[in-house]
Structure 1
């Protein structure tokens, strides 16, 4: 079997309805996996391709992690799970994260819900000796002046990846992470839709282009594969050289 062949494997991408999560989900599907994704909207038909959503061939379920009891009552449509990718995330611009209600909302989704999902699917991953991948951000490695909660949550996600990697290795679960740089998605529109900001950002990226969800997916396919069998607790920076 080829190391990147996921035929017969079951993958869940939380936050896989659009953006980076969606790119990762489609990459696993292209390698033969049965891929389930969750998003906040009621049905897959509520997503449009111009928003960066391609739900073709994916199994969709609604899971709004901002809703307190949603995860507890969530009944997965699969009996086993080989790979769990946590790609949920939000951000509030215009100084909204300097207000405690905004700060809490972002922390809840970007960090607290990671641990909640880990706990929810731990047993399934233990049974399959599975792989868990946490999507953080290069924001974990530098300041982001207007977004304290986004920064704190993504920094926390890198620490969580390290610690869960250590804690769950004894259960046969490999936990690793990906820290995307500037990827063209709805969360980064504030930069990508502003020509001046975009130009400034591109000047700081050695590869001189934005990342794509497919760029992030390559790292995810690697981390969940036997090629990465001795990698635990690491967060791979996938940013075109942005933070160098």
Structure 2
């Protein structure tokens, strides 16, 4: 497996995690459930971006974002988040199980003149964007393997990852941003089990917000709408579905990855330190209307 963009003298070493969320040593973090990684989609990849904002944190501060999509690509939500935070002065470290994905992303950011450091310190925030959907169809067509695969990646892995990160965050009053989907509120028929898995993240957000409040760690959830990425191309290309969204909800356009980055940056900043347990849609319409 490919390593991070550079050596990281952190409290962990990076290897592939089951959710495609990040790369940590199963030995150093004691993750026995990583043994199931072999049954998960080989398309799952990861983006980890520890970042440091001098105006907000100590010299050892490290702010972390994470992306799990089919592939780490320049048009993904995760890359857009890393790019935006780096532009804001964050120090971003990217890791992926495919070294060429890491090299491609790091090169693209450095060509913009953004600093990509070789080391990181502690963890001040964590953003989990886990998403895999190996089956297009209803829950009625899904066997146990499909249920296990999707729920392991999209639901269980972010929960267990946060549990492992906690010792590195609890003394820093950090922030956690989970990333669900508008399908949690308005299920898309062809994304049966995926809908369920993303709904579970809404509950995880509320539960972890209560559990971590005594540690001054905020937990919130970004709920992207229909965003123009490779992952959502089937939905975007479904003209009947898009027309119904426009007619019923007044949706005027398909979202872009860049539409999500401002909210994530805000939720990870001290400006959002009094906000927790919230799930916020970035969708061009509100599922609460």
Q: TM-score, normalised by structure 1?
A: 0.79
Task: Tell me, yes or no, if the aligned pair for 1:10 and 1:35 is still in contact at 8 Å.
Answer: no
Ranked by relative contact order (alpha carbons within 8 Å, sequence separation 6 or more), the top structure is: 1
What pairs up with 1:79-94 in 2 under 5 angstroms?
79-94=121-136
Task: Tell me, yes or no, if the aligned pair for 2:94 and 2:102 is still in contact at 8 Å.
Answer: no
Number of the residue aligned with 1:162:
206
Task: Tell me, yes or no, if the aligned pair for 1:15 and 1:38 is still in contact at 8 Å.
Answer: no
1:152 and 2:196 correspond: yes
Q: C-alpha displacement at 1:196, in angstroms? A: 5.0
Number of the residue aligned with 1:42:
99
Counterparts of 1:205 and 1:185, CA distance in 2? 21
What pairs up with 1:23-172 in 2 under 5 angstroms?
23-44=80-101, 56=110, 57=114, 78-95=120-137, 98-172=142-216
Question: Which structure 2 segments of 5+ residues have no match?
Answer: 1-51
Counterparts of 1:128 and 1:40, CA distance in 2? 28
Query: Aligned in 2, Cα 1:54/1:176: closer, same or farther, shift over 3 Å?
Result: farther
Residue correspondences, number:
222
Query: Secondary structure at 2:207's aligned position in 1?
Result: helix
Number of the residue aligned with 1:220:
264
Query: Aligned in 2, Cα 1:29/1:183: closer, same or farther, shift over 3 Å?
Result: same
Task: Tell me, yes or no, if the aligned pair for 1:14 and 1:38 is still in contact at 8 Å.
Answer: no
Which is further off, 77-86 or 200-209?
A: 200-209
CA RMSD of aligned residues (A): 3.0
Query: Aligned in 2, Cα 1:88/1:54: closer, same or farther, shift over 3 Å?
Result: farther
Query: Aligned in 2, Cα 1:126/1:132: closer, same or farther, shift over 3 Å?
Result: same
Task: Tell me, yes or no, if the aligned pair for 1:130 and 1:173 is still in contact at 8 Å.
Answer: yes
Q: C-alpha displacement at 1:147, in angstroms? A: 2.2
Task: Tell me, yes or no, if the aligned pair for 2:91 and 2:117 is still in contact at 8 Å.
Answer: no
Counterparts of 1:38 and 1:23, CA distance in 2? 15
Task: Tell me, yes or no, if the aligned pair for 1:161 and 1:176 is still in contact at 8 Å.
Answer: yes
Structure showing greater radius of gyration is 2
Query: Secondary structure at 2:250's aligned position in 1?
Result: coil
Task: Tell me, yes or no, if the aligned pair for 2:137 and 2:189 is still in contact at 8 Å.
Answer: no
Query: Aligned in 2, Cα 1:89/1:194: closer, same or farther, shift over 3 Å?
Result: same
Number of the residue aligned with 1:67:
none
